[in-house]
Structure 1
Amino acid sequence: MSDSKVRIDREGPLAILTVAAPPVNLFDRAMFDALLAALDELDADPPRALLLRAVGKVWTGGVDVHEFDGLTPQTGAQLWTDLFELIHRVEDLPYPTIFAAHGLCLTWGLELALGCDLLLAAESAKFGLVEIVVGLTPSMGGPQRLAERAGPARAREVIFTGELFTAATFEAWNVVNRVYPDAEFASEAEAFALRLANGPTKAHHATKQIIRMQIAGGARAADDITPQVSGELFATEDLKGAVQSFLTQGPGKATYEGR
């Protein structure tokens, strides 16, 4: 991509989306447009996994508050409607999405992270939904997605207090999946994401569909779609090849092409 706020790099089957808007990667309309353009690029040439990261001392310091100045209830509601397009498109990507958080990860950054499948954090990372400083509640899906992971009471605590929370605390609350030492964080996050990118991509998509249905409608609703979603995997080259690999070489020897 040519836009300086967001770039996409490739490492084999892995796409790496990097936010680069110094000094603190604030969110504004230009950032929103750049992220949507990045998703268009990924749709045109899909990877097998996506790693989202940012450059600088912090992942993001939050939103450029100028974006809120002068909004009315009607224009504010339209803003959030527009922003949900970004979150929903990330959630609907048919391959694993991994968010790598370092430094401060506030407001929109954390809400975007919660729209990803997995959240990795550097040891010193801190997280916050601090919208109360402008009399607002997080409105890019943060409350509901945080409640999915940590439970409603913890979500209320994070948002009502506007406090910052450590990577260790968020890991204990099931918000963060894994915490890595700061010095190795970038390499560990990329290696982890690359491992998923080299996996059975269509099976990963099936897993995402089943879990999303469980969140929306419960276990029985997920049961209802599993036969078709999982059954279709028997037509994939990855499953056929992995079965033969297992039968001839034993477990753990199969490689995958995402087909």
Structure 2
Amino acid sequence: MSTPPATLTRGHTDEGADIAVLTFADGNLNLFGTTMLDTVADAVSTLVAHPPRTLLIRAEGKTVSAGVDVQVFDALSVEDGEAMWARLFDDIIHPVENLPCPTVFAAHALTLTAAFEIALACDIILAAPEAKFGLVERVVGLTPSMGGPQRLAERAGSGRARELVMTGDLYSAQTLADWGVVNSLHDDVAEAAHSLAVRLGNGPTRAHAATKQIIAAWRSGGVAHADSITPATSGSLFATSDLERAVQRFLTEGPRACSSFDGN
């Protein structure tokens, strides 16, 4: 039996938080061909059906990904191309973005095209100083179509997004950190990303989900729309045991009290 190009594992922290790790592991290139895309989509479907308290996406090998296997694009009709992009949004990008938990992407090296677009669908991107990023679809006459340009524009501004996509150049992790695309740089990005995933997974999961809902509302409709959904979204947190316990502990032990959360 052949080794799958991506793997999904789950484990619990000492505090009991359920952490999921999706790893790209298809040799040194981690090319996104049909099998990789299908495997990632299957893993994401599993996560949607049973959400963890944090998702960490990482890779093994010399690169995070050297891009898409160009055979995926060979001889597609207009209808085929449209259907492929719609499926990748439906099966990977939107489900990752909408998971009711924090999502962290760790980039230790070169991160191109589909992998970079998946990173941009995550909440937080950490990178090693030597990592490089690019959306290089121009070399085959395409534009990135898994949400990269628009998510770059959200993080870095439309001018930066147009530059990165139209030139097809590679950009350093430091440059993208300066632009606000990468959240932070770490010499040991694997350890930093794992530690962050654990920290977030041990936190108030329902509150994190509410944060994502409010920000998603801002992304789709601006400040006024986000304001309109905030009372109900945040109000629902008063039904959570996490909030009730944390408030009572704060009241009895003071602001230095260390509250634990079980995600409910």
How would you bin the TM-score normalised by the shorter chain? Answer: over 0.9
What are the ranges of 5 or more consecutive residues in structure 1 without an aligned counterpart? none
Are residue 47 (structure 1) and residue 52 (structure 2) matched?
yes
How is 1:68-83 mapped onto 2 (pairs within 5 angstroms)? 68-83=73-88
Paired residue type of 2:55: L
Displacement of 1:146 after TM fit?
Answer: 0.5
Q: How many residues align?
A: 256
Counterpart for residue 6 of structure 2: 6
Displacement of 1:219 after TM fit?
Answer: 0.6
| Aligned-residue CA RMSD (Å) | 1.2
**Selected match of 2:148 from 135, 142, 165:** 142
Displacement of 1:23 after TM fit?
Answer: 2.7
Percent of pairs identical after alignment?
54
Moved more, 94-103 or 4-13: 4-13
1:68 and 1:115 mapped to 2: Cα distance?
A: 22
Please give the secondary structure, in 1, of the residue aligned with 2:111.
Answer: strand
Displacement of 1:243 after TM fit?
Answer: 0.2
Are residue 192 (structure 1) and residue 196 (structure 2) matched?
yes
Counterpart for residue 23 of structure 2: 18
Q: Any conservation in 2 of the 1:3–1:34 contact (CA below 8 Å)?
A: no
What are the ranges of 5 or more consecutive residues in structure 2 without an aligned counterpart? 13-17
1:203 and 1:116 mapped to 2: Cα distance?
A: 17
Please give the secondary structure, in 2, of the residue aligned with 1:218.
Answer: helix
Q: Any conservation in 2 of the 1:5–1:21 contact (CA below 8 Å)?
A: yes
How is 1:177-256 mapped onto 2 (pairs within 5 angstroms)? 177-181=183-187, 184-251=188-255, 252-256=257-261
Counterpart for residue 177 of structure 2: 171
Are residue 108 (structure 1) and residue 109 (structure 2) matched?
no
**Selected match of 1:61 from 66, 86, 89:** 66
Paired residue type of 1:171: A
Counterpart for residue 28 of structure 1: 33
Counterpart for residue 158 of structure 1: 164
Displacement of 1:43 after TM fit?
Answer: 3.0
Q: Any conservation in 1 of the 2:107–2:189 contact (CA below 8 Å)?
A: no
Q: Any conservation in 2 of the 1:111–1:141 contact (CA below 8 Å)?
A: yes
Please give the secondary structure, in 2, of the residue aligned with 1:21.
Answer: coil
Q: Please list the CA deviations of residues 45-104 of structure 1 after superposition, one character each: whole Å capped at 9, or x if unmatched.
A: 321010000100100000000111111212111111111111011111000011111210
TM-score (norm. length: structure 2): 0.94
Please give the secondary structure, in 1, of the residue aligned with 2:262.
Answer: coil
- Runs of 4+ aligned structure 1 residues displaced above 4 Å come to none
1:152 and 1:253 mapped to 2: Cα distance?
A: 42
Q: Please list the CA deviations of residues 80-131 of structure 1 after superposition, one character each: whole Å capped at 9, or x if unmatched.
A: 1111111011111000011111210000011000011111111110000001
Counterpart for residue 138 of structure 2: 132
Paired residue type of 1:225: I
Please give the secondary structure, in 1, of the residue aligned with 2:56.
Answer: strand
1:39 and 1:107 mapped to 2: Cα distance?
A: 18
1:244 and 1:4 mapped to 2: Cα distance?
A: 47
Q: Any conservation in 1 of the 2:108–2:190 contact (CA below 8 Å)?
A: no
Displacement of 1:3 after TM fit?
Answer: 6.2
Q: Any conservation in 2 of the 1:104–1:127 contact (CA below 8 Å)?
A: yes
